[in-house]
Amino acid sequence: MNQRTHAWIAIRTIALLEDGGKSKDLVKLIKPHAAKAAIGAWIPDLVDAKRAGSQIGKHVLKMKPYKGKVLKERFIAEKEELLERLGKSRLMSSYIDNDTSLKTHWWNKPYKGDIKVPGQHLANRAMAMSVMMRDLLIMGDQKVDKLLPGAVRFAKNIDSKARTKAEQVALYFFMLSHFISDACMPCHADARKISAYNKGKGLHHELETRWSGIVKTKFDKKKLLPVSSSIKPDKILKDAKEVDARFGLKFKPKSIPNLVAGDVWLELINICRGSFAVASIIASPKPSKYPYSNKVRIVHLDKLFPENSSEKLKDLDRMVMHDAVLNNAIIWRHIWQQAIPAKMKKKKKKTA
């Protein structure tokens, strides 16, 4: 996904959480800074960020057949098992469930992420940032501390200048959104040449260009950065929600689920596994070569679906964008809840 799409997804996440009504303090903390924090959503793609924690390998978890002789069962996720891991709230689940092109022998084979540097991939990056976010929240300044339930007794011993500001919280949530959203992009989970970026040619580039065109220019960095201080939070969230109709999105803000896996790392692994299945469903230049073909380098969007191409592309658009926003909402809320002391959570349940 490119800059414009990443910015829209992160801002739309705030609107979804606000409409849900169960994350009022989190929304109150980051919403005022939505425009200024927008750059965080695309910082991981910037060249200078690669010197830190945003190396290219951490934007992907590209699956391919596992050739090892040990622990094969670890890398097999049969269809029903994966659907259970993903839960029913994600459109990815119904997209995979309704597919008939991936046969049993595809699902029964082991697939593993192709990682050039051990420990560097989407799930690890998302996990690292989510743990860091919890630490930053509990060491927040007075404004953050006021919104986060539960006393942090050691906070008074920290230099006030060293404590986390609301602007930083918003920026880092937006940075985290980049990696969560990339996990929803089918090409980021597929090691075939067909899903490579190919210097701006083929499926990967064309999908990202298509989505950016649907989002349109209100979320272009040229619009966000120079006037960020003057963009009203309610206005930018309203603009984000207006994009829904162009993607055919219908959210259920009152029904944002908890993490299905209960763990950010495993949740991202499952999402990437689902994205790999989606990539295998939509991009099969030679069906006879299932479960995997790595010979074809370039496939164009207009060749993906021989029949009902327009509607099938819209289904794909809707599924990826819906789940990108929902996955961010799920994980952001999870991080916020994890920073709240257990005894405070119990009190909230009793008074609910």
pLDDT in tens, 281-306: 998 766 556 667 777 778 888 878 87
Considering the entire predicted model, what is its pTM? Answer: 0.93
Q: Over the stretch 213-263, which tens digit does the pLDDT of each residue have?
A: 999 999 999 888 865 567 899 999 999 999 999 999 999 999 999 998 889
Q: Among 85-89, 189-193, 206-210, 340-344, name the one with the lowest average pLDDT.
A: 340-344
Counting Cα atoms < 13 Å in the Cβ hemisphere of 249 gives 26
The CA distance from 268 to 327, in Å, is: 9
Q: Over the stretch 51-110, which tens digit does the pLDDT of each residue have?
A: 766 666 678 899 999 999 888 999 999 999 999 999 999 999 999 999 998 999 999 999
Residues in contact with 232: Cβ distance below 8 Å, sequence separation at least 6, in sequence order: none
Please name which of 290, 297, 233 lies closest in space to residue 37, comparing C-alpha atoms: 233
Q: What is the DSSP letter of 63?
A: E
Residue by residue, DSSP assigns 156-177 as GGS-GGGSBPHHHHHHHHHHHH
pLDDT band at 348 (very low <50, low <70, confident <90, very high): low
The CA distance from 221 to 204, in Å, is: 21
Reduced to 3 states (helix: H, G, I; strand: E, B; else coil), residue 112 is: strand
Reduced to 3 states (helix: H, G, I; strand: E, B; else coil), residue 190 is: strand
pLDDT band at 265 (very low <50, low <70, confident <90, very high): very high
The CA distance from 101 to 63, in Å, is: 18
For residues 338, 342, 347 and 352, what is the CA-based torsion angle, rounded to 10 degrees?
40
Residue 306: Cβ-neighbour burial (10 angstroms; 0-12, 13-18, 19+): exposed
The CA distance from 33 to 170, in Å, is: 6
The CA distance from 50 to 323, in Å, is: 26
Number of structural domains the chain divides into: 1
Which residues form the domain of 291? Answer: 3-351
**Which residue type is seen at 222?**
K
The CA distance from 107 to 88, in Å, is: 19
